[in-house]
Structure 1
Amino acid sequence: MYALYYSPGTASLLVHWLLIEMDIEHELRLVDMDARAHKSAEYLAMNPNGVVPTLIVDGQPRYEAAALAMYLADRHPDAGLAPALDDPQRALYDQWMFNLASTLQSPLRLWWYPWDLQADDDAVRAGAQARIEDACARLDAQLGAHGPYLLGERLSAADFYLTMLMRWTRKMPKPAHEWPHLGEFARRMKARPGFATLYQREGLSEWA
């Protein structure tokens, strides 16, 4: 059984959602971010980055949300959420997972936490917003031309990752769901029963 250290609405949401979707037995361990439990010596011994998620796998702590998503999808192939290594779509799948991490998650973190750069917050946010909107425009074009999912007709872990990142844009001047194809994509993903279960378990209501 897996054990997931999580905090509602954070990057752990991706891993939590996949555990639900894949019907994998797991235990949830809430990390109190307000109390800075993620910076405690006990937690840092598992995840030296001091962030969530951390997933206990066969007794060992593992971290990095995108990497955990790829690991779970590969380890549980019956769920069908990752092309096999010899599948022609594997390279495209890997491409989208890394693309989302570098072109969308990275600037989103800056938009939410501009003070991490110890620079002018407004300037950091403006730069991050421009990068995020550029990424959204490219993703919208991809879905419009080759959708309904990032791999075409094939649902994958990359789509769950994209949905989580879209949720993070909800308070931006132009949230991701305002692009037409991304908006339809979000509606499709949020209609999944697992999404309702995820929201109920994490006590979330925004962007439902």
Structure 2
Amino acid sequence: MATHAIFEELGVSYELIEIDLAKNMQKSPEYLAINPNGKVPTLVHEGRVIYESAAILLYVIDQYPESGLAPDIHSRARGLYYQYLFWMSSTLQEAANRWAHPEQYVSGDSNLQQVKDNANDMLTHCWGVLEKVLTNNGPWLVGEQLTAADFHLFMVA
């Protein structure tokens, strides 16, 4: 979703191929041949295959530096941009996944609620961190500049 939104923001042409997760299309041999993790999204650009949302966003924005959707490489904001993208991928998004799909983290039904409760605690913490950042430094994650990190936050939220 974040990559799709970035393409729309950039006004570039792209081909969106729907992968029906309910039909496990991400586990098909054809899809696994390009993304061995069997997850979405996956970007294929000029023969390169990139997967993981944050990596795709970084790659796409690097193709369009004039877009202004990434802070200058030598700025303090660039470090924050990287920080928030990686933190959202490894902490916020992981907690959201555990909350939404606890069955993927334990076998059987006995511990599903515990997984969900622990994920909820982490999400509460993460949303608190983000609220403080946006309140004190906003309106965007790195301050006054809209970046690809904000699109990633939109996707997770």
Higher relative contact order (CA closer than 8 Å, sequence separation 6+): 2
Q: Which residue of the partner structure matches residue 127 of structure 1?
A: 118
Mapped partners of 1:28, 1:160: distance in 2? 17
Mapped partners of 1:25, 1:129: distance in 2? 38
Shift of 1:25: 1.4
RMSD between superposed Cα atoms in Å: 1.1
Q: Which residue of the partner structure matches residue 91 of structure 1?
A: 79
Contact 1:74 1:84 in 2 (8 A): no
- Which one of 54, 70, 73 corresponds to residue 58 of structure 2? 70
Following superposition, which runs of at least 4 residues in structure 1 exceed 3 angstroms of deviation? Answer: none
Contact 1:62 1:68 in 2 (8 A): yes
Contact 2:72 2:78 in 1 (8 A): yes
Give the TM-score taking structure 2 as reference length: 0.93
Letter in 1 for 2:120: Q
Shift of 1:75: 1.6
Mapped partners of 1:162, 1:77: distance in 2? 20
Shift of 1:23: 1.1
Mapped partners of 1:73, 1:86: distance in 2? 16
- Which one of 124, 127, 138 corresponds to residue 136 of structure 1? 127
Shift of 1:86: 2.1
Q: Identity of counterpart residues, as a percentage? A: 38
The alignment status of 1:157 with 2:141, answered yes or no, reads no
- Which one of 5, 29, 34 corresponds to residue 41 of structure 1? 29
Q: Which runs of 5+ in 2 are unaligned?
A: none
Shift of 1:126: 0.1
Mapped partners of 1:115, 1:98: distance in 2? 25
Shift of 1:79: 1.1
Give the TM-score taking structure 1 as reference length: 0.71
- Which one of 3, 20, 42 corresponds to residue 8 of structure 2? 20
